[in-house]
Structure 1
Amino acid sequence: MRKKLLVLLLVLIVPLQAMVAAKSATVVAQGTVCNVTFYAPDIVRVVKYPQGAKGPSENSLVVTMAPLENMKVNITKQSGTTLLKSKKLTVAIDNATGIVSFYDGSQVLLKEKGTTFEERNSGPDKGAYRVTQVYELDGDEPIYGLGTLQDGKLNRRGTQKFMEQSNLEDFQYVVQSLKGWGIYWDNYSRADFKDDASGMSFSAEVGDASDYYFMYGGSADGVNALMRQLSGKVDMFPLWTYGFWQCRERYKTENELLEVVDWHRKNNVPLDGIIQDWQYWGSNYTWNAMDFIGEGFRHGQMMVDSVHRMNAHLMISIWANFGPYTKGYRQLDEKGLLFDFETWPQSGISHIWPPRMDYPSGVRVYDAYSKEARDIYWQNLKTLYDYGVDAWWMDSTDPDYFNSKDSDYDRMTGLGTWRRVRNAFPLCTVSGVYDNQRKESDDKRVFIMTRSAFAGQQRYGSGLWSGDVASTWDMLRKQIPAGLNYTMTGCPNFNTDIGGFFCGAYNRGRISAPQNPQYQELYVRWMQYGLFCPVFRSHGADAPREIYQFGKKGEPVFDAIESAIRLRYRLIPYLYSTAWQVTSSDESYLRALVYDFPNDRKVWNMTDEFMFGRNILAAPIVEPQYTAEEIIKDHKAVERCKAETDFNAGKTAEKYLPEGATWYDFWTEQKHKGGQSVRLETALDRVPMFVRAGSILPLAPVMQYAGERQWDNLEIIVYPGADATFTLYEDEGDNYNYEKGQYSTITFRWNDKAGKLSVGKRAGAFKGMLNKRTFNVRVVGKEHTKTVGYDGTKAVSVRF
């Protein structure tokens, strides 16, 4: 009986083993082991390493996905080639060379050109390799991604970049092609990216293998979805994060900070967040103490509570390093969990520039690669969490690293040498905060803004800002492709310091930057770009940036800034519903035009326009219209400029409308055919924006903060010319109950031929939900508005 049972078990087990094995094939060619494994029908892992070497680690910092079990892959060998074929993708391995090629049917998607390994013969990374992987691209094939590069380019063809995380540029090692494929290069060391006549290549300083994932999504959205399937979904940010955030470098007292919030409430200028930058902890010797111990911040709990009483939220600056007189420093130092390299701040004297190096700060970066160190970090941060601080501004997550020496890279971390894991630092440090806060409570969603990011960071409730960018028109222009390329790595949350961080060049004589017409124009246009970013945040050094620094109500600059803020709040139902699509359907806020119009060659490298969600074409003005771009340095000339500049004057601008859609000017509602440039009449208080025909746009009444009232009396604007669908998403606005299904959706459908808008029965429910409401429906081109009563229990419709 036992023998029969054993035979039966073997019969059952063997087919299962064969099925698992059939997802993978290995070829040894020219001394190199090549393994190809299907993780999904459209995701393939390729690993190559020298024969006899140990190969890669099975534990990835980025990849969280395991190969799918119920997946059929046919493996055959023919004519010197090993073929692996799923229902979506064919992979061919040349048995003689080990070259791997990827096909969609008979169409070549991508082909390797070669792989090289240069063994490291000394140091703690001895036995590992410098690894280079080269690919062949089509002659005019555009590629996108890599990260936030500040060179003003969208298409990465013909470019070269040494990739090491820094203040202004960050790298995710993800590229994607207009042909619908993407690659994630799974390596954490510094690396060179290059595209030239010899091919497109990644060359990592240290690795045990060439280890990458090929994804075939068929489109930019498809590649992003697969990258998130591979490395983690995007959390919902709280509703209040989508309002307006004000910051300055820095509020020097708790009263300064509270006065800003109080001013907004008294003057009815919407605000949801206030940010406290550094040194609320006191001196540089107590750097990042994560407590209100600085002079001017003696009533930290009172400050936090006061912000909350005014229906605002507080974000606070925290760093990846500690001063020598902090508890965190002592706890980490005792366990050998601090790095020795030079970081910011270099001097313990905070009020003298340049730094007094004869008074070294002693500040040291912590070993974020160690779980023990990350837990100690959170134990200190919990002081601020317990005060009720709402969000974390994680600065210097690159981290700052001055006067680097090659020997520094030999330093061991919790995951190997600094050389081996250098660029994954932001991923590790952000993960520690996210994981620990999720353990504390699910009542408040994690909201992190970080200066640096690595692939996979989207799963940690975090978004990236583009660092301490300069206040220039050129830098404003560069933020658009930087954010679009970052989005095309699968990470959707991007924002910049509105107005640029360093505005000191505009401070002239008695005129501060916010009173200098050159800076006023730049700030307004940056604000109008910023309202399309997931986080809408004003910040910078050298001069305060609050709206009242620029003038007063009734003056053109003040009114233009207020107009941008108010428009943001009108768009919040659209934006929050888009956020749900980002989380549930892997969509993106900032969409390079190649997402939606890949057949229009004119948009392949367009760097000044993009889609904001699926429906709105954002075309911000990024060239000065009222003042000169070159900064005036003579204070008398600035005085003359101030006297002569008329911000009430009308101007014009030319904008391109992508082919493949019909477009409505958001402001005038004039209809335009796509595939052409149009000249618009512009004003300082208007950002050029268009809505695609076949769109439904929900607009809210202007609120003083995002959660001031529920979404009753929404204006539902239909842009005819094609059928349209829009899903309005609502939940409690904070906490993680949405993960348990506690949310609702209402789907609007426009039948263009019938001229009918249908509002479907509400799906789902959540605590505190609005049961009855009114929608005010208007069709562009029609003068009247129709009021629709709605209780969610049944579908309703209205005809025009």
Structure 2
Amino acid sequence: MKVSRKIVNVENHHKYLDIDAGPAKYRIILLNDDIVRIRCIFEAEFKPEASYALVMTAWQDHMDAMLQRERKRVEAIATNYEEHETYILMTTKKLDIKIYKDPFAIEISDKNGNILNSDLKERAYVQDDLGRIYHYSCMEDGDYFYGFGEKAGYLNKQRRRMRMHNVDTIGYDSELTDPLYKHIPFYIKLNSTNKVACGLFYHNSYDSVFDMGCERSGYWHKYSYFCADGGELDVFFIYGPQIKDVVKNYTDLTGKTVFPTKYSLGYMGSTMYYTELDQDADKAVLQFLDKCKEEQIPCDGFFLSSGYTTGQDGKRYVFNWNHDRFENPKGFVEKMQQKGADLAPNIKPGMLTTHPLYKEFDAAGAYIKDEYGEKSQTDRYWGGPASFVDFTNGKGRELWKKHLKKAIVSLGVTSIWNDNNEYEMNNLAAVCHYEGLKQKAGALRPIMPNLMAAMAQEAVLEVDPDIRPYIVSRAGFAGIQRYAQTWAGDNNTSWKSVKFNIPVILGMGLSGVANQGCDIGGFFGPAPEPELFVRWVQNGIFQPRFSIHSCNTDNTVTEPWMYPSYTQYIKSAIQLRYRLIPYLYSLLFEASDEGAPIMRPLVYEFQNDCNAWEESFDFMLGSSLLVANVLEKGAKTRRVYLPAGADWIDWYTKERYAGGQTIEVNVSLSSIPMFIRSGAIIPMSEELMNIHTDAVETLHLLVEPSQEAEFVLYDDDGITNNYKHGKYLKTTVNIDKNNGTKIIFTNKGNYSTPVKTVILELLCQDIAPIQIRLQDRKVPMFLDRREWEAGKTGWYYDMEQKTAKIKYDNLREDHTIHVDFDIKDLISV
């Protein structure tokens, strides 16, 4: 076993500091004021930089040319240091980095003296006799740990041991199964004493383990550790102090969430059942869309399961169309688009040895090779022995794109569903090309789904550079958010799944993957019972990816209308999602710009409220809306904790509650408990039924004006890349409480919005307005709701809801609504 004991030598290279500490060497880079990189090797020399994951660097990297459109080069902070008796001190504007000499350890503090991360002295960096590497960090019982990518169980991962390893976990237990499909070695630590957050990203794609306090020893301070099967200990410390700052800084490093099409926020139908029909599967899908319209259930697309690729031998062959099931694929795609729906066909990177294209890929050297680097490696796969496309090889990438374009994208398809891409391989010594550097598959396995998603993006753009690709991926490594929406795979049909899939999604959001979801209704198991199905849909409408998808084990198919007497609840929930599309699209833009999650744990918005630290199931949708879905069978009431630091208004009754308390509300099967945060600004649509075909001509803006707040309402054409060239509209809505109440609208961008009418719904706590002015022009008041509805401009006060509803023609220029809440003295008049 090798352990760094003390500093032997220090060399300052101005942009990085090299430290020799016995058996290990260290390179410390101050990437910026918030991010400190620590590289540790137990070898003679550092290997050349070669990363697929990082998009912000301060050094030359082997992948710079490949990632030139994504990567940003920054200037590292000069590594000047102060020499003290027992330690070396490096600083940024926000951090102090103490490097202890003997015993060797690194401790990072903020400028207030709060210790943010401290190595376990005498055991900080270790390589065992099997070549595994360890990093031990001190921890306290009051530390909370979040993130870790896609992990089952409660949100806080303290006292958990978790494995990082992509695997196909069909029918998994969403509370207990580990690992799942994603491999994201990043976490956020919140110290409960000083309430300061920081993060650690381990830039290492070998299989690894996080132990967050499961292991204890009386000989040491309490500790957590990271252990990887190989590679470097390449650690990025990421400062907060807020959790949202950590997420922003982490996504500066690994990339923001890709901005997909607007219709990706719609309901995407799916089931394995249709594509397994012996014939006329295409008609079944088209009939599904017709049935949705008949039932008034909005739908904008369909995920096409892999049965469409079935060959004569019953096996699935990627890029192959079964013409018994899909007689005319191009005509089928066109008919779908005519019905306002896009198709997302399923593709898989493992090619069976019986595949008609197998020999072409083999001859091109496009597969991962055996351990000798000679023959294509074959391994177990769905359907039999297969070889995996090597996406670290330019030949593999180009050949994959060639057939993807020929078989799918040329049909008019711009949405691609990457599935079964975990690269489960038994021979981890197999060799990947790695852009000519050659590397074992065990080091690169989880990177492959990212590159596969990148190639789907490229294939669509090479056919039509103006269109915005919509890519979905089941597996992924850190940075998958740059290329794809993801979902948490083949969940089990159970009440436990609908509940614990929530913290799975919340953890992904804290790990940089804002655009995530789970199969609604359950993928694996018998058909969901009616109550479970209703509650699952009511929960699923808030997930960025909303798809009812199933492979039921009882010969049934999960469809929105499967229980006719319950369809009203399904329809109502999905229509609510479509009302929220303007809000969700703005949040999706924020994710692409800032890295912020769409579904947010309460601790993300209310870090100073200790009652939010452990909450796993209630969440914020954006910053304005708290969602407390009913998750228990037969529930008649629902207890909800309302975080301190805000007031809360019931979505339906408009009853107001002070924050910092737990309330209990009555619920029925139709209930979706939601609470509006004080200062909320929530844009909504009126009667949107299809994102492809319907324009939002009436914008409904729900505003709680009791405190100052800001929200950026974003819109564009939703499908092209014209937004990158200024064809967008950002409307910053401000609540200004300085000298009265004003709602200020400021526009940026040159997209011509279809909005013709604005309905501004003001939640009025104690008093109705006496007067409302638009650009200093008095807005007419109506006492009768019907007269207000018939008029073009005006306002009226809804006594029951305690809301003032203001309607006016949309103004393309900046404008202000003045709301006067003075008391009108009727007696003295």
Q: TM-score range by the shorter chain?
A: 0.7 to 0.9
Shift of 1:99: 1.1
Whole-Å separation in 2 of the counterparts to 1:778 and 1:603:
28
Q: Retained in 2: the 8 A contact 1:371–1:432?
A: no
Check conservation: 1:285, 1:324, Cα contact below 8 A.
no
Letter aligned with residue 534 of structure 2: V
Q: Pick from 690, 714, 734: which aligns with 1:749?
A: 734
1:250-649 map, 5 Å: 250-252=273-275, 253-283=281-311, 287-338=316-367, 340-346=377-383, 361-382=384-405, 383-400=407-424, 404=426, 408-415=427-434, 416-460=439-483, 462-504=484-526, 513=527, 519-542=529-552, 543-551=556-564, 555=565, 557-625=566-634
Using the TM superposition, give the Cα deviation of residue 400 of structure 1 relative to its aligned residue in structure 2, in angstroms.
4.6
**Is contact 2:298–2:575 with CA below 8 Å preserved after alignment?**
yes
1:617 to 1:36, Cα distance in 2 relative to 1, 3 A = same
Shift of 1:778: 3.5
| Contact 1:494–1:535 under 8 Å retained in 2 | yes
Aligned match of 2:52: 61
Q: How far apart are 1:753 and its partner, in Å?
A: 7.0
Q: Does 1:683 align with 2:662?
A: no
Contact (CA 8 Å) 2:688, 2:695: kept in 1 or not? no
Q: Is contact 2:365–2:395 with CA below 8 Å preserved after alignment?
A: no
1:172 and 2:174 matched: no
Paired residues of 1:748 and 1:757 also in contact (CA < 8 A):
no
Number of the residue aligned with 1:351: none
User: Which of 220, 228, 250 is 2:251 aligned to?
Assistant: 228
Q: Can you list the C-alpha shifts for 1:746-785, whole angstroms capped at 9, x where unaligned?
A: 122223576634242421112x533754334343555142
State the SS of the aligned residue for 1:279.
helix
Q: Secondary structure at the match of 1:397?
A: coil
Residue-by-residue CA offset, 1:305-357 (whole Å, 9 max, x unaligned):
000001111111111112344454222222343354443323xxxxxxxxxxx
How far is the alpha carbon of 1:734 from its aligned partner?
A: 1.2
Percentage of identical aligned residues: 25
CA shift, 1:302, in A, is: 1.1
Q: CA deviation at 1:70?
A: 7.2
SS at match of 2:273: coil
Distance 1:20 1:545 in 2: 63
Q: Confirm or deny: 8 A CA contact 1:27 1:98 kept in the other structure.
A: no
The aligned amino acid for 2:423 is: P
The C-alpha deviation readout for 1:240-277, integer Å capped at 9, x for no partner, is 11111111113231000110111222332211111210
Query: Residues 103 and 111 of structure 1: is their aligned pair in 2 closer, same or farther, counting only changes over 3 Å?
Result: same
* Mean CA deviation greater in 21-30 or 336-345: 336-345
Superposition deviation, residue 194 in structure 1: 0.8
Q: In structure 2, what is the Cα distance between the partners aligned to 1:467 and 1:793?
A: 45
For residues 57 and 591 of structure 2, the distance between their equivalents in structure 1, rounded to whole angstroms, comes to 22
Aligned to 1:124: none
Q: Which amino acid aligns with 2:478?
A: A
Task: Give, in angstroms, the shift of residue 285 of structure 1.
Answer: 6.4
Q: Which amino acid aligns with 2:117?
A: L
Residues 53-102 of structure 1: CA deviation (Å, up to 9, x unaligned):
23244111211212232745542211132211111212121233331111
TM-score (norm 2): 0.82
Alpha-carbon distance between aligned partners in 2 of 1:80 and 1:365, rounded to the nearest angstrom: 52
What amino acid is aligned across from residue 496 of structure 1 in structure 2?
C
Other-structure match for 1:25: 17
Distance of aligned partners of 1:780 and 1:305 in 2 relative to their CA distance in 1, 3 Å threshold = farther
Distance of aligned partners of 1:423 and 1:595 in 2 relative to their CA distance in 1, 3 Å threshold:
same
In the alignment, is the contact (CA less than 8 A) between 1:495 and 1:534 conserved in 2? yes
The answer to whether the 8 Å contact 1:285/1:362 transfers is no
Aligned partners of 1:572 and 1:755: how far apart in 2?
31
Q: TM-score normalised to the size of structure 1?
A: 0.85
Counterpart pick for 1:143 among 142, 145, 169: 145
Among 199, 211, 214, the alignment partner of 2:234 is: 211
Tell me the CA shift for residue 541 of structure 1.
1.2
Distance 1:375 1:745, change over 3 A: same
Q: 1:10-47 CA deviation, whole Å, 9 max, x = no partner?
A: xxxxxxxxx99433222212332122101111111101
Question: How far 1:451 sits from its partner (Å)?
Answer: 1.1
In structure 2, distance between residues paired with 1:146 and 1:239: 28
Q: Which amino acid aligns with 1:65?
A: M
Q: How far has the Cα of 1:653 moved from its partner?
A: 1.4
Instruction: Kindly indicate whether the alpha-carbon contact (under 8 Å) linking 1:590 and 1:611 is maintained by their aligned counterparts in 2.
Output: yes
Tell me if the contact between 2:421 and 2:475 (Cα under 8 Å) persists in the aligned partners. Answer: yes
Q: Which amino acid aligns with 1:620?
A: N
Map of 1:85 onto structure 2? 91
Matched, 1:195 2:212: yes
Please state if 1:108 is matched with 2:115.
yes
What does residue 812 of structure 2 align with?
Answer: 792
Give the letter aligned to residue 133 of structure 1: H
Q: How many residues align?
A: 710
What secondary structure sits across from 1:547 in the alignment? coil
For residues 749 and 761 of structure 1, the distance between their equivalents in structure 2, rounded to whole angstroms, comes to: 8
In the aligned structure 1, how far is the partner of 2:360 from the partner of 2:203?
33
One-letter identity of the residue aligned with 1:280: Y
Deviation, structure 1 residue 665: 1.0
| Further displaced range: 327-336 or 95-104 | 327-336
One-letter amino acid matched to 2:510: M
Q: Tell me, in whole angstroms, the C-alpha distance in 1 between the residues paired with 2:104 and 2:225.
A: 17
Question: Where does structure 1 lack aligned partners over 5 or more consecutive residues?
Answer: 1-18, 121-128, 347-360, 505-512, 627-650
Q: Does the 8 Å contact 1:656/1:677 carry over to 2?
A: yes
Tell me the equivalent position of 1:693: 678
Secondary structure at the counterpart of residue 233 of structure 1: coil
The aligned residue for residue 36 of structure 2 is 44
Measure, in 2, the Cα distance between the counterparts of 1:269 and 1:780.
33
1:413 alignment partner AA: C
Pairwise mapping of residues 238-253 of structure 1 onto structure 2 (< 5 A)?
Answer: 238-252=261-275, 253=281
Which segments of 5 or more consecutive residues in structure 2 lack a partner in the other structure? 1-10, 59-73, 170-179, 191-195, 217-221, 276-280, 369-376, 766-796, 799-803, 821-829
| Separation in structure 1 between the aligned mates of residue 755 and residue 617 of structure 2, nearest angstrom | 42
Change (3 A) 1:696 1:162: closer
Partner amino acid, structure 2, of 1:314: L
State whether residues 265 and 310 of structure 1, in contact with CA within 8 Å, keep that contact through their aligned partners in structure 2.
no
Judge which range, 780-789 or 36-45, deviates more: 780-789
- Give 1:189 deviation, angstroms: 0.9
In the alignment, the residues of structure 1 paired with residue 345 and residue 764 of structure 2 have an alpha-carbon distance, to the nearest angstrom, of 43
From the superposition, tell whether residues 410 and 761 of structure 1 become closer, same or farther in structure 2 (CA, over 3 Å).
closer
Structure whose residues are more often helix by fraction: 1
3-state secondary structure, aligned to 2:366: coil
User: d(CA) in 2 for partners of 1:182 and 1:468?
Assistant: 29
Distance 2:459 2:224 in 1: 39
The code of the aligned residue for 2:659 comes to G
Preserved CA contact (<8 Å) 2:308 2:326: yes
Change (3 A) 1:400 1:25: closer
- Per the TM alignment, residue 679 of structure 1 is displaced from its structure 2 partner at its CA by 0.8
